[in-house]
Chain A
């Protein structure tokens, strides 16, 4: 087994592609797409696998990447392995439950773990994975990599006074300039800074302490700059968002970020020289995370910046990073732009669809988005099929008789497809049965079958899952004036599953 090394030296390894795929906590999909493009250039005949690796279906994409990784370590006799350089392991680190997304939690994290597993597996078989550690050394211990920290980064920006040098050296490279600035500016002395760092959220407190010393104009500038996701540089081609030229930050942001504010942010370490790209700047991850949590406080500036970044034209000199524009269009809620820019995957479109549906009750528009997802991106997205049906249904849910026939069949097909793709989902099955009952079908004979399927005798029924199935079924039967069937169903199962009574009333629906 080749032990991957953790190498922070940014000079290229011989024969390696110039390409570092950055990541962020939420963009493993982007990592795979980028890695696919990187690796696809290693072998001339890898084009087909490269396309697959950028395919919009997660499973197919992952399979394509696995194939490319397999090719990546085909070594010619006497030649070194083909290394793949991957930065920011934070992007792949499984996150704690407190940071989970509200939608598709389990699937989302499974995908990340799967990706990490593939990369580790590849490294164990000979692909050398270079990882630049942005977090402190102790965080690396959580990664299933045998990592050896070699730190060759020198602190950019302000140098800490000698009395604080040892203190700053103990921090991750990203935080050293910030600590050095606090010490050099005498905002903190080494004793107080030690006390600050000793707290359980010391690193975050450090960023907060520096943030508090920025002028409001610099804070606003940071709120805009931190919306840009970390760069993805692909085979020497750099997207317009990727690298912030120090001399052109204000121009890049259309005048939203003043040069004085940029200077102030550089001075305090919130913007740092990019060690890989001279004359370019980067926002270190801890700063980006901290500032992004303040996005509500900086509305409408944040909204305006997202719209601006979503609308940036392709400068023609580089491969257009449509995925970045897509991301900003999603964040801004600009449906038209989001749909235009959804080239590689449509998963993020769900965020807009949910907003249209839940916040604005624009059900037909939301349905259009889900239809686009299953048509253009992922025919096997069970969630999208389910909510296509759900949103088509909403305008007529109180009076199905008024619904046009074509719509009826679309709804039925959507619910059925969702159940085909996710057969173990009690909510999806419950809603399908409800709809069929409301449409006049006799679903009574099927109920026991599905109850046994979802809640077999050996299974301790979770009351939320029970409600997901039982509540829509009972509601559908009541709508269809089959209360007798509903009552009999509940009575039949009450002894074995006493919670079914509350479930029928939706009392444990959960959020």
Chain B
């Protein structure tokens, strides 16, 4: 089935889109009352895909922009989008200010070309946000900070990261800042991190700081899991920590009985939390997972994660599918879904409309595929 127009939020439905060409990820949520929430920015080959989607949806202003964490693949084009769509409110990941100050210090040194580019991405975003911080329209968020909206029209809460993750990252960032001041040179660990090298002392940090959102509309629940990882051996970190924290507060309803999950960290095995997914699936006949693949250094989604998702998600929407990912999906028992609706757009998106009553509907853009 082909739809010529992209679904929009209406009084009777909430719509979520995930944009992901294979590198980069962004999410757009259209609330029933017309408000627009955007998470991160996605650009590919010089094209701001998030902006293209917003334009296709006739969006002229963003009500809430969420900058989930400082990884480059989530930031490209964001500075331009801020200028164009003038978000009324911006939520940023914790330690944003620490990283901003670190970047400003690091730029006084002489970074390598790769690190310099990533520093430049961060700096462009920071310049765009400075004015909003001055106007108190930008805030660092973490689990338990204020909510936005209301249940009738869409209420958004931050469920991650927890303070344990934030403090851990803060300690390392401050150590780097001291090193820069003492040595007047960019520390190797920071260079590696900015170059995106795995195994560096800071390589976990961006994901560790990732904001995860729980969006409630009436009885419907949407979970945007960011890039938060699991940390199987650390009970107070990552998804383990989220589940424990919500359990302690009597707030498991924020991740229990979910209709749509933007799967964490591009479907990596390290971000899959069995306990959390069991809760997501509770009392739900249909649970749609949205995945934006990551096609560099190892390629995601991982085969093990796709297998782990089988008992929990009934449908998967994958925004772009390489041959490797296609094979992994097949090996994990996922087959093409016949009831997904193809959109008349080349954009690498997958979308879900969540009605007030009834099952969610999966939509596929350009190179997106649906699986069941």
CB within 8 Å of B: which residues of A? Answer: 102, 186-187, 189, 192, 195-196, 199-202, 204-205, 208, 211-213, 215-217, 219, 293-299
Contact = CB atoms under 8 A, between A and B. Distances in A.
B97 A192 contact: no
Given A192-B163, A215-B134, A216-B134, A296 B104 contact: yes
Interface stretch (B173-181, B302-310, B336-344): B173-181
Interface in B135-191: 136, 139-140, 144-146, 162-164, 166-168, 170-171, 174, 177-178, 180-182
Contacts of B174: 201, 204, 208, 293
Contacts of A196: 163, 166-167
B108 interface: yes
Q: Which of A202, A211, A293, A295 has the most CB of B within 10 A?
A: A293
B108 A299 contact: yes
A294 B177 contact: yes
B359 interface: no
20 contacts: A192-B144, A196-B166, A199-B168, A201-B171, A201-B174, A202-B167, A205-B167, A205-B171, A208-B174, A211-B97, A215-B134, A215-B136, A216-B130, A293-B181, A294-B101, A294-B105, A294-B177, A296-B105, A296-B180, A297-B102
A202 to B, nearest CB: 8
A298 to B, nearest CB: 8
A216 B144 contact: no
Contacts, number: 71
B105 A212 contact: no
A195 B164 contact: yes
Interface string B291-322: 00000000000000000000000000000000
Interface in B110-142: 130, 133-134, 136, 139-140
A297 B171 CA distance: 18
A467 B122 CA distance: 44
B235 to A, nearest CB: 13
B96 interface: yes
Interface residues of B, number: 34
Contacts of B168: 199
Tell me if B's interface is mostly helix, strand, loop or mixed. helix
A204 B134 CA distance: 23
Contacts of A200: 171
B97 A205 contact: no
B62 to A, nearest CB: 21
Given A102-B182, A196-B163, A208-B98, A297 B105 contact: yes
The 4 closest A-B pairs by CB, nearest first: A297-B104, A199-B167, A296-B105, A212-B97
Given A199-B163, A199-B167, A212-B96, 12 more contacts: A195-B167, A199-B171, A205-B170, A208-B174, A212-B140, A293-B174, A293-B178, A295-B181, A296-B108, A296-B180, A297-B104, A298-B104
A296 B181 contact: yes
A215 B167 contact: no
Contacts of A298: 104
Contacts of B95: 212
B140 A213 contact: yes
A294 B181 CA distance: 8
B133 A215 contact: yes
A208 B170 contact: yes
Nearest to A200: B171
B166 to A, nearest CB: 8
A102 B168 CA distance: 28
B130 A297 contact: no
Nearest to A202: B167
Interface in B89-108: 94-98, 100-102, 104-105, 108
Contacts of B180: 296
Interface in B201-234: none
A480 to B, nearest CB: 36
A195 B161 CA distance: 13
Contact of A212 (B98, B104, B108, B130): B98
A171 to B, nearest CB: 16
Interface string B50-92: 0000000000000000000000000000000000000000000
Given A213-B140, A293-B174, A195 B163 contact: yes
